[in-house]
Every structure is written in structure tokens, then in C-alpha cells.
Amino acid sequence: MDNQIIKAQMSSLIGRRIELVDCTDEFTPMTPGTKGTISYIDDIGTVFVDWDNGSALGLVPGIDKWKYIK
């Protein structure tokens, strides 16, 4: 799939609310169930989130897990 198409699809996720399911970063204090809003997606697909607890941890698709919430 073309990178432009992927980027356009990913950009449509900005503003969506998510809930963390699993994060592989052993140094983060983030726990499953933490909620936040997607603020940015970079060119390699990292999903940056403004978490409700004040963190700005980025998530890596295919490694970290989250679900979309209403």
C-alpha cells in the first residue's frame, strides 16, 4: 500500500479516544486501562497520545496494544 494512503488513513485517527491495553515499554508507568486522545501520528506510524494522566507516550502499532473508545 502506498505510504500516502497509509498516512491519510492514520491521520483520520487524530482526535480519537483510546484505552491502553498493553505497552511493551518497561520504563513507563503507564498501566492498562489508561485513557487518552490521539494527537499526532508520525511518518513511521508511531501514535502519539495525550494521555489523561499527563503523559505523552507514543505507541508503536503492532507492538503496543490499545482499543478505541467512545
Sheet holding 35-41, edge to edge: 58-59, 47-51, 35-41, 17-22, 65-69
* Count of domains for the chain: 1
Query: What domain range is 37 assigned to?
Result: 3-69
Nearest CA among 61, 55, 50 for reference residue 14: 50
How much is the pLDDT for 51?
96
Compare 9 and 65 and report the one with higher pLDDT.
65
| pLDDT tens column, 17-61 | 999 999 988 888 889 999 999 999 988 889 999 999 999 889 999
Q: What is the pTM of this model?
A: 0.82
Residue 16 belongs to domain with CATH number: 2.30.30.40
